[in-house]
C-alpha cells in the first residue's frame, strides 16, 4: 500500500468511530493473539532466515508480545474506565474524572533487530487505546517484515484499522510527511532526530525508543563467576544486536584479568571452539553491518575472537582490551558481539565515566553490596537499570520501558503502553444549580479577605 493511501485509510476508519467501543478493541486484541499463535512457525522461520536466531531466542520475542497481549486483555476494561478523582473546593458541587480517549492515527516505525516484537509490542497498546495504526517494519529484516504483515492482515483484515506499509528510508520519509496523532519510533538516535523534526512540523507527539551505549559496572565486591557469565550472555544474545545489552564493561582493576578469562570460558561453554558452527549463535543483519563491526575492532586489542566473515554475516564473540576512548568503538553504539573491557580503580571512577557520557538506555551494576548498587542507581541517570544482570528490565509489564536523553523519550509496556497511546482527558461535570453569584462581576461585592478564604 502507498504511504498516502494508508494514512488516508487510517483517518477515515478512525473518523468512522468503529475503533472506539471497548468490545471492538478487545475483539481485535484477541484476533491478534490468535493470529500470532497461528503464524508462529512462519515467524520463527523468518527470524532464522533474517538473523539466524535459534527458535528459542526467536520465541522470546513472540512470548513478550503474547504475554503483554494477555495482560492487556485482562486489564484493559479497568484502565479504560473513567477514573473518578477528588475536586478542588472552587468547583463545588461537581464530579471530576479522567477519561482516556484514543489519540487517533498512529504511525509505528520498527527496527530490524527484534523485527517482530518491536512492531507488535507497541501495536498492542495502540489498538488497546482505540487508535488506527499504520506499521512500517524494517526493510533490513525482509522475511520477518513479510511474516508480520501476514499476521496483521490475518488479524485485522484490510478495513484500515491496522495497515502495513513495507519499504525503506524513502517510504519512511513519505510516511513521516503525513499528519499523525502519534509517532512511535524504535531505532537509532540519529534517525530519532529525523523523526522528531518531521513530527514537529505538525506538533505530533512522539515516542522515541532509541539506543546508545549501556555500561556494565563491576564492583570490587562481586560474584565474578555470575557477572562474567551473564555479561557473556548479554553480549551474544542475538549476537549483541540488542538495544539494552551490555555495550562495554568498567571492571574493578583487581578483577580485570579474571573477568576476561571467565568471559572467554563462558563463550566456549555456550558456543564451542567455533561459534560459526553453533546453531545457537545469531548472525549480523547484513554484510555491511559485519564490516562495520570489523572496523570497530581497531579501537582496541583483540584479546579473544576477532574472526569476521562478512559475506556470511558472521562476527565472532570478541573481547577487546587497551581500548581507545576516542575511537568509534567507544563513541558509537556497538550493536554486535564485541565487548570492550576497561579497568577502573573504583566504583566512583566508573560512575564518573558513565556520567560524563550520554544517558544510556540500560545501566548495569554487578555487586554483592546493595548500598553500592543504590548509589550507582541514584547517581547515574539511565532509562532503566539492573543489579547483577542486564536486559531483563524489559521483560516485566509493570515496569515502564524507555530511554532518557539520547536514549529516548516516552515509555511503554503494559499499562504504560495504553497511556502512551491515549489522551487522558480531564472531565468536570457540574449541575446547573446552585449557581454561586460571587464568581460574577461586580467582583467588588466580595472583600479580598473573604475571596482569599474561598479560593485559597
Ligand atoms: P534505524 O534508525 O536505522 O532504522 C529504524 C527504522 O527507521 C527503519 O524502519 C528504517 O527504515 C527507518 N529509517 C532509517 N533511516 C531513516 C531516515 N533517514 N528517515 C526515516 N526513516 C528512516 O535503526 P535500526 O538499524 O533498524 O535499529 C538499530 C537501532 O535501534 C539501534 O540504535 C538500537 O539501539 C535501536 N533500538 C532501540 C530499541 C529500544 O527499544 N530502545 C529497540 C531496538 C533497537
Q: Is the CB of 242 under 6 A from ligand 1?
A: no
What range does the domain containing 237 cover? 215-394
120 and 63, same domain (yes or no): yes
Residue 88 lies in a domain: yes
Residue 440 lies in a domain: no
Nearest of 65, 243, 206 to residue 148 by alpha carbon: 65
Question: Which atom of ligand 1 is nearest to 176's Cα?
Answer: 20
Residue 205 lies in a domain: yes
Return the C-alpha cell found at 407: 536514549
342 and 410, same domain (yes or no): no
Q: Is the CB of 173 under 6 A from ligand 1?
A: yes
Choose the final residue of a domain: 394, 415, 438. Answer: 394
137 and 178, same domain (yes or no): yes
Cell 579474571 belongs to which residue? 258
Residue with CA nearest ligand 1 atom 11: 168
CA of 110 to the centre of ligand 1 (A): 7
Domain count, the chain: 2
209, 243 in Cβ contact below 8 A?
yes
Nearest of 148, 94, 103, 97 to residue 125 by alpha carbon: 103
Q: Is the CB of 187 under 6 A from ligand 1?
A: yes
Residue 346 lies in a domain: yes
Residue 105 lies in a domain: yes
Q: Is the CB of 60 under 6 A from ligand 1?
A: no
Q: Is the CB of 238 under 6 A from ligand 1?
A: no
Sequence-ordered list of residues with C-beta below 8 angstroms from that of 293, at least 6 positions apart, any chain: 284, 308, 315, 334, 336, 337, 338
Q: Which residues are identified as catalytic?
A: 209, 243
9 and 154, same domain (yes or no): yes
25 and 50, same domain (yes or no): yes
What is the reported pLDDT for 456? 83
* Rg, Å, the chain Cα set: 25
**Tens-level pLDDT at each residue, the chain (456 residues):** 899 999 999 999 999 999 999 999 999 999 999 999 999 999 999 999 999 999 999 999 999 999 999 999 999 999 999 999 999 988 999 999 999 999 999 999 999 999 999 999 999 999 999 999 999 999 999 999 999 999 999 999 999 999 999 999 999 999 999 999 999 999 999 999 999 999 999 999 999 999 999 999 999 999 999 999 999 999 999 999 999 999 999 999 999 999 999 999 999 999 999 999 999 999 999 999 999 999 999 999 999 999 999 999 999 999 999 999 999 999 999 999 999 999 999 999 999 999 999 999 999 999 999 999 999 999 999 999 999 999 999 999 999 999 999 999 999 999 999 999 999 999 999 999 999 999 999 999 999 999 998 888
Residue with CA nearest ligand 1 atom 32: 188
Q: Is the CB of 361 under 6 A from ligand 1?
A: yes
What is the reported pLDDT for 1? 86
Best of 110, 111, 240 for a ligand 1 pocket test (most atoms within 8 Å of beta carbon): 111
Q: Environment class of residue 84 by beta-carbon count within 10 Å: exposed (0-12), middle (13-18) or buried (19+)?
A: exposed
Question: Which atom of ligand 1 is nearest to 114's Cα?
Answer: 43
Question: Which atom of ligand 1 is nearest to 195's Cα?
Answer: 20
Q: How big is the CA angle at 176 (ends 174 and 178), to the nearest 5 degrees?
A: 80
Residue with CA nearest ligand 1 atom 34: 211
36 and 180, same domain (yes or no): yes
Euclidean distance between CA atoms 206 and 194, whole angstroms: 12
CA of 208 to the centre of ligand 1 (A): 10
Q: Is the CB of 207 under 6 A from ligand 1?
A: no
Amino acid at each position: 500500500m502507498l504511504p498516502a493511501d494508508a494514512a488516508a485509510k487510517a483517518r477515515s476508519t478512525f473518523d468512522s468511530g468503529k475503533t472506539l467501543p471497548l468490545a471492538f478493541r478487545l475483539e481485535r486484541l484477541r484476533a491478534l493473539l490468535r493470529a500470532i499463535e497461528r503464524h508462529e512457525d512462519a515467524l520463527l522461520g523468518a527470524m532464522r532466515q533474517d538473523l539466524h536466531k535459534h527458535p528459542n531466542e526467536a520465541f522470546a520475542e513472540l512470548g513478550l508480545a503474547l504475554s503483554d497481549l494477555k495482560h492487556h486483555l485482562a486489564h484493559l476494561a479497568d484502565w479504560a474506565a473513567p477514573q473518578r478523582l477528588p475536586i478542588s473546593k472552587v468547583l463545588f458541587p461537581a464530579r471530576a474524572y479522567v477519561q482516556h480517549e484514543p489519540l487517533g492515527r498512529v504511525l509505528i516505525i520498527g527496527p530490524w533487530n527484534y523485527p517482530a516484537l518491536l512492531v507488535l509490542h507497541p501495536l498492542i497498546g495502540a489498538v488497546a487505546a482505540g487508535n488506527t495504526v499504520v506499521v512500517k517494519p524494517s526493510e533490513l529484516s525482509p522475511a520477518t517484515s513479510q511474516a508480520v504483515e501476514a499476521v496483521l492482515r490475518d488479524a485485522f483484515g484490510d478495513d484500515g484499522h491496522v495497515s502495513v506499509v513495507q519499504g525503506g528510508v524513502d517510504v519512511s520519509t513519505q510516511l513521516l510527511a503525513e499528519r499523525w496523532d502519534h509517532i512511535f519510533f524504535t531505532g537509532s538516535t540519529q534517525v530519532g532526530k529525523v523523526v522528531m523534526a518531521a513530527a514537529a512540523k505538525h506538533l505530533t507527539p512522539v515516542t522515541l525508543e532509541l539506543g546508545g551505549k549501556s555500561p556494565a559496572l563491576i564492583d570490587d565486591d562481586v560474584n565474578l563467576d555470575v557477572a562474567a557469565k551473564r555479561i557473556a550472555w548479554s553480549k551474544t544474545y542475538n549476537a549483541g544486536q540488542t538495544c539494552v545489552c551490555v555495550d562495554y564493561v568498567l571492571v574493578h582493576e583487581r578483577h580485570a584479568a579474571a573477568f576476561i578469562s571467565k568471559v572467554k570460558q563462558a563463550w566456549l561453554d555456550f558456543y564451542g571452539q567455533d561459534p560459526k558452527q553453533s546453531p545457537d549463535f545469531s548472525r549480523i543483519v547484513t554484510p555491511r553491518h559485519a564490516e562495520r563491526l570489523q572496523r570497530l575492532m581497531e579501537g582496541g586489542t583483540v584479546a579473544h575472537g576477532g574472526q569476521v566473515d562478512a559475506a556470511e554475516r558472521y562476527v565472532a564473540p570478541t573481547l577487546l582490551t587497551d581500548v581507545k576512548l576516542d575511537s568509534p568503538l567507544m563513541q558509537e553504539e556497538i550493536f554486535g558481539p564485541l565487548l570492550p573491557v576497561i579497568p577502573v580503580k573504583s566504583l566512583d571512577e566508573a560512575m564518573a565515566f558513565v556520567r560524563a557520557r550520554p544517558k544510556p538506555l540500560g545501566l548495569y551494576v554487578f555487586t554483592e553490596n546493595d548500598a553500592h548498587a543504590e548509589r550507582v542507581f541514584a547517581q547515574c541517570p539511565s532509562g532503566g537499570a539492573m543489579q547483577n544482570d542486564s536486559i531483563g528490565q524489559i521483560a516485566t509489564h509493570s515496569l515502564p520501558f524507555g530511554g532518557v536523553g539520547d536514549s529516548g523519550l516516552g515509555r511503554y509496556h503494559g499499562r504504560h503502553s495504553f497511556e502512551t497511546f491515549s489522551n487522558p482527558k480531564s472531565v468536570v461535570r457540574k449541575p446547573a444549580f446552585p449557581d454561586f453569584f460571587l464568581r460574577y462581576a461586580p467582583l467588588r461585592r466580595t472583600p479580598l479577605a473573604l475571596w482569599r478564604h474561598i479560593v485559597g
